[in-house]
């Protein structure tokens, strides 16, 4: 089993630091990677997949140099290798049109408006990672304590047999 | 855990943040785990292969040619089931395959004249052994119970009489968990009821030891409850299936009569232990289980079928229809009425059945090949007192299954225990031997790895290994004494002695 990566794509250093700080509770069980541009994020994803790892969640800003966040998320959703990744937009500036398109094209699982609270971010990350491990991971036990325990236990109950 | 660490290629992940929080990658330790796993697998496979072929180059006195071949298979089974170099069920399939290739009428290498080779069909048949049909019936009931949330709905009603004092709630949870784990898998029952309990645990003060009590009570009760009926847990099925191959049939109610009284006493002991070791600081506790009974037609069909199955299992002495035939009834009814369909059929844990089949097949071939008689001759059994032998069988089963799978331990020990007793080498009834080994395997609950229920409870983070070990060891030791020394006295009184 490989450690699941949480990828943060945000070009402003201060915002990136704030997200990183709020992700701290997840740092023990997940690998957290930072990227400041789409190209950077692409290479993190490529490297992670190459090392047999998986990116479970991306937290993505909307206004990025050269590319809109929604565009990038749609791009990720169209690639079978990155489609299972849960995709969250953190932004204050995404217009309706971009957002609606991202939702319709399957590129967006959740939208966090700036400014966010630590608690809000925790809830969203927990929920999205829970969705991810339920869909993609066979052994759920390592996540009971850190993600949505009761939901994971329900799934374990369906899958679990004596040995 | 200071500062940002770097990615796999050493790229600095966040150079611009200097006062950043601690974000640490755990890749190195996970990689180490994975490498350790790979090493263990390679060693297990190499060693398994070595012991498999070793007897072919030996000439053991008194052991026939087929016996030599089976000795290799048996030793390989030990290595593979202990190391889990390949999945448990794959080892079971491999055993059946090798037995066919080595000692059946389809053997690849000539067998000595005079050896009556068993048919390959007789080994394949273990994959559809009657005891597996009994278990399959149990799986169908469990699947339906989960689908219509019968477990939670009944739990809601059953919990009411226990009131709201923490100690009584713990007892109520244990009784209900044990009751469900009798007919559903211990693992599924544990996960279901921990999901009910966790939200309550989260509302308790961090220092309240009731948290530990609630989370510990459930796997303990599930492990104990599984002991009672034949469908409770795979070791019981392995014992019953192997006994049947040896010509001894055990009815559902007979096994229940042997196991239930001591099981109840052990459950109460476990309850007292938990509430004393982990007393609550809260005085009142409410446990809300949400939901309502599903009253759609398929749900009603299911309730009726489940009730009928259980009643028929328990009333075998009246109607004489064996538990495996009864077990096939819910399979037929639920599929025919469309309550469960082909998707559900595919979802059944066939690998659990195959693991049991592997154990039954192993016992069968150890006997066919004459390996059993040779093994017994290696030890002077006459001097061993019966009580001590029963305790030894159960104790070895408990010790082994503390670290390896309960089913694998039962698979390896039951052929030996039955050989000893069926041959009359020792003065212990075969049923008692099979029973003690199966019970012994289920009494292993000292460590998180001992059983899946323990692993699930441990994963919640509410328990330390130490707390689990204290309770698990005490219950294991008391359970062994109770089943081996006290239960036989009860059997005398009840007139059900083997």
**pLDDT tens digits, one per residue of B195-205:** 999 999 989 99
What pLDDT is recorded for position A101?
81
Note the pLDDT tens digit of each residue in B51-78. Answer: 999 999 999 999 999 999 999 999 999 9
CA of B260, closest CA in chain A: separation in Å? Answer: 20
Helix (H) / strand (E) containing B312: helix B297-314
What angle is formed at CA B209 by the lines to CA B219 and CA B443, rounded to 5 degrees?
25
Q: Has residue B10 got a pLDDT over 80?
A: no
What residue of A is the nearest CA neighbor of B231? A162
Q: Is B290 on the interface with A (CB under 8 A)?
A: no
What does chain B come to in residues?
A: 498
What angle is formed at CA B151 by the lines to CA B146 and CA B154, rounded to 5 degrees?
145
CB contact under 8 A, A23 and B195: no
CB contact under 8 A, A47 and B8: yes
Q: Has residue A127 got a pLDDT over 90?
A: yes
d(C-alpha B458, C-alpha B450), whole Å:
11
On chain B, the residues whose CB falls within 8 A of the CB of A149 are: 195, 198, 460
- Parse chain B into domains and list their residue ranges: 41-127, 130-245+252-348
Say which range, B35-39, B242-246, B257-261, B364-368, has the weakest mean pLDDT.
B35-39
What pLDDT is recorded for position B26?
38
CB contact under 8 A, B406 and A17: no
Note the pLDDT tens digit of each residue in B193-246. Answer: 999 999 999 899 988 999 999 999 999 999 999 999 999 999 999 999 999 999
Q: Is B264 on the interface with A (CB under 8 A)?
A: no
**Mutate: best of B1, B5, B7, partner A, most A CBs <10 A:** B7
CB pairs under 8 A between A and B: 134
Q: Has residue B23 got a pLDDT over 80?
A: no
Of B25, B408, B461, nearest to A145 by CB-CB distance is B461
Q: Is-contact B99 B365, C-beta < 8 A?
A: yes
Among residues of chain A, what percentage have pLDDT more than 70?
Answer: 99
Q: Has residue B5 got a pLDDT over 70?
A: no
What pLDDT is recorded for position B18?
33
CB neighbour list of residue B86: distance below 8 Å, 6 or more residues apart: B41, B44, B45, B80, B94
**Could you tell me the two tokens for B163?**
């009131």
Q: Is the peptide bond before A115 cis (omega within 30 degrees of 0)?
A: yes
What pLDDT is recorded for position B8?
39
Mean pLDDT, rounded, for B360-372: 94
On chain B, the residues whose CB falls within 8 A of the CB of A26 are: none
Q: Is A18 on the interface with B (CB under 8 A)?
A: no
Q: Is A118 on the interface with B (CB under 8 A)?
A: no
Task: Output the average pLDDT for chain B.
Answer: 90
d(C-alpha B477, C-alpha B416), whole Å:
23
Q: Is B4 on the interface with A (CB under 8 A)?
A: yes
Note the pLDDT tens digit of each residue in B425-475. Answer: 788 899 999 999 999 999 999 999 999 999 999 999 999 999 999 999 999
Say which range, B16-25, B175-184, B244-253, B348-357, has the weakest mean pLDDT.
B16-25
What angle is formed at CA A144 by the lines to CA A138 and CA A150, rounded to 5 degrees?
105
On chain A, the residues whose CB falls within 8 A of the CB of B191 are: 153-154, 156-157, 160
Considering all CA atoms of chain A, what is the largest pairwise distance in Å, rounded to the nearest integer? Answer: 54
Q: Has residue B16 got a pLDDT over 70?
A: no
Mean pLDDT, rounded, for B394-417: 94
B374 torsion bin: left (phi>0), alpha (psi -120 to 50), beta (else)? alpha
d(C-alpha B306, C-alpha B283), whole Å:
38
Note the pLDDT tens digit of each residue in B321-335. Answer: 999 999 999 999 999
**Mutate: best of B87, B182, B195, B407, partner A, most A CBs <10 A:** B195
Level-2 CATH architecture, domain A4-159: 3-Layer(aba) Sandwich (3.40)
What angle is formed at CA B244 by the lines to CA B239 and CA B248, rounded to 5 degrees?
100
Helix (H) / strand (E) containing A32: strand A31-35
Q: Is A16 on the interface with B (CB under 8 A)?
A: yes
Say which range, A99-108, B74-83, B227-236, B352-361, has the weakest mean pLDDT.
A99-108
On chain B, the residues whose CB falls within 8 A of the CB of A32 are: 13, 23, 25
| Count of C-beta atoms within a 10 Å radius of residue B108 | 8
B32 pLDDT band, cuts 50/70/90, is low
What residue of B is the nearest CA neighbor of A22? B21
- Report which DSSP code applies to A142: G
Q: Is A24 on the interface with B (CB under 8 A)?
A: yes
**Mutate: best of B11, B19, B21, B202, partner A, most A CBs <10 A:** B21
On chain A, the residues whose CB falls within 8 A of the CB of B7 are: 33, 44, 47
Q: Is B213 on the interface with A (CB under 8 A)?
A: no
What pLDDT is recorded for position A158?
83
d(C-alpha B345, C-alpha B91), whole Å:
23
Q: Is A141 on the interface with B (CB under 8 A)?
A: yes
d(C-alpha B158, C-alpha B172), whole Å:
8
Q: Is A34 on the interface with B (CB under 8 A)?
A: yes
Note the pLDDT tens digit of each residue in A2-47. Answer: 789 999 999 999 999 999 999 999 999 999 999 999 999 999 999 9
| Count of C-beta atoms within a 10 Å radius of residue A71 | 18
Please, what is the end-to-end C-alpha distance for chain A in angstroms?
20
Instruction: Say whether the ipTM exceeds 0.95.
Output: no
B92 pLDDT band, cuts 50/70/90, is very high
Q: Is-contact A101 A79, C-beta < 8 A?
A: no
Q: Has residue B289 got a pLDDT over 50?
A: yes
CB contact under 8 A, B226 and A47: no
Q: What share of chain A is helix, strand, coil (3-state, %, to 5)?
A: 50, 20, 30
CB neighbour list of residue B28: distance below 8 Å, 6 or more residues apart: none
Note the pLDDT tens digit of each residue in A39-91. Answer: 999 999 999 999 889 999 999 998 888 888 888 999 999 999 999 999 999 98
CB contact under 8 A, B9 and A157: no
d(C-alpha A68, C-alpha A78), whole Å:
16
CA of B90, closest CA in chain A: separation in Å? Answer: 13
Q: What is the DSSP string of B12-69?
A: -S-TT-SS---B---HHHHHHHHHHHHHHHHHHHHHHHHHHHGGGG---TT--HHHHH
Within 42-71 of A, beta carbons closer than 8 Å to B belong to 44, 47-48, 51, 53
Sign of the alpha-carbon torsion through B28, B31, B37, B40: negative
Q: Is-contact B218 B413, C-beta < 8 A?
A: no
pLDDT: is B193 or B5 the higher one?
B193
On chain A, the residues whose CB falls within 8 A of the CB of B406 are: 162-163
What pLDDT is recorded for position B40?
87
CA of A108, closest CA in chain B: separation in Å? Answer: 25
Considering all CA atoms of chain B, what is the largest pairwise distance in Å, rounded to the nearest integer? Answer: 82
Mean pLDDT, rounded, for B283-303: 90
CA of A147, closest CA in chain B: separation in Å? Answer: 10
Within 327-366 of B, beta carbons closer than 8 Å to A belong to 349, 351-352, 355
């Amino acid at each position: 089993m490989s450690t699941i990566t949480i990828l943060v794509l945000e070009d402003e250093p201060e915002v990136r630091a704030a997200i990183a700080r709020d992700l701290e509770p997840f740092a023990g069980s997940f690998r957290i990677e930072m990227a400041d541009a789409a190209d950077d994020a692409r290479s993190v994803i490529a490297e992670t997949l190459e090392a047999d790892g998986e990116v479970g969640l991306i937290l993505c800003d909307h206004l990025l140099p050269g590319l809109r966040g929604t565009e990038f998320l749609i791009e990720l959703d169209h690639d079978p290798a990155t489609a299972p990744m849960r995709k969250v937009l953190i932004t204050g500036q995404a217009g309706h049109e971009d957002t609606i398109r991202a939702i319709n094209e399957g590129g967006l699982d959740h939208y966090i408006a700036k400014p966010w609270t630590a608690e809000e971010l925790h809830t969203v990350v927990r929920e999205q990672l829970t969705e991810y491990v339920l869909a993609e991971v066979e052994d759920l036990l390592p996540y009971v304590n850190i993600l949505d325990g009761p939901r994971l236990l329900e799934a374990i109950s369906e899958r679990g047999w004596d040995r | 855990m200071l500062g940002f660490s770097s990615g796999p290629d050493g790229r600095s992940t966040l150079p611009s943040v200097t006062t950043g929080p601690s974000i640490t990658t755990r890749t190195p330790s996970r990689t180490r785990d994975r490498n350790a796993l790979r090493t263990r697998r390679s060693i297990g496979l190499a060693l398994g292969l070595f012991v498999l072929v070793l007897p072919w180059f030996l000439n053991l006195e008194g052991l026939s040619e087929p016996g030599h071949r089976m000795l290799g298979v048996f030793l390989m089974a030990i290595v593979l089931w202990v190391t889990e170099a390949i999945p448990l069920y794959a080892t079971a399939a491999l055993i059946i395959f090798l037995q066919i290739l080595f000692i059946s009428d389809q053997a690849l290498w000539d067998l000595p004249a005079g050896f009556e080779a068993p048919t390959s069909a007789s080994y394949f048949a273990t994959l559809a052994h009657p005891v597996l049909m009994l278990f399959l019936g149990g799986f169908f009931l469990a699947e339906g119970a989960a689908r219509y949330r019968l477990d939670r709905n009944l739990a809601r009603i059953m919990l009411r009489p226990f009131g709201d004092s923490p100690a009584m709630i713990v007892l109520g949870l244990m009784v209900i968990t044990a009751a469900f784990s009798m007919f559903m898998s211990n693992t599924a029952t544990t996960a279901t009821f921990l999901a009910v309990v966790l939200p309550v645990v989260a509302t308790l003060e961090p220092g309240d030891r009731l948290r530990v009590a609630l989370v510990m009570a459930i796997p303990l009760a599930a492990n104990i409850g599984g002991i009672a009926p034949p469908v409770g847990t795979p070791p019981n099925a392995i014992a019953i299936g192997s006994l049947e191959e040896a010509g001894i049939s055990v009815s559902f109610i007979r096994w229940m009569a042997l196991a239930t009284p001591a099981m109840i006493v052990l459950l109460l002991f476990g309850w007292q232990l938990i509430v004393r070791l982990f007393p609550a600081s809260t005085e009142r506790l409410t446990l809300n289980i949400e939901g309502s009974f599903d009253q759609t037609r398929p749900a009603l069909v299911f309730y009726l079928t489940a009730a009928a199955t259980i009643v028929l299992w328990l009333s075998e002495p009246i109607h004489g229809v064996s538990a495996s035939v009864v077990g096939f009834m819910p399979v037929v009814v639920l599929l025919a009425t469309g309550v469960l369909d082909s998707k559900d059929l595919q979802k059944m844990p066939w690998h659990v059945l195959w693991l049991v089949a592997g154990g039954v097949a192993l016992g069968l071939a150890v006997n066919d090949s004459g390996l059993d008689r040779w093994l017994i001759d290696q030890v002077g059994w006459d001097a061993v007192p019966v009580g001590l032998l029963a305790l030894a069988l159960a104790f070895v089963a408990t010790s082994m299954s503390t670290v390896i799978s309960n089913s694998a331990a039962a698979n390896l020990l039951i052929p030996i225990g039955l050989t000893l007793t069926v041959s009359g080498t020792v003065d212990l009834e075969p049923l008692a031997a099979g029973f003690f080994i199966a019970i012994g395997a289920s009494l292993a609950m000292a460590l998180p790895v001992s059983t899946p229920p323990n692993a699930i409870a441990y994963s919640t983070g509410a328990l330390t290994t130490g707390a689990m070990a204290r309770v698990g060891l005490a219950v294991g030791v008391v359970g062994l004494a109770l089943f081996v020394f006290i239960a036989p006295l009860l059997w005398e009184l009840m007139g059900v002695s083997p």
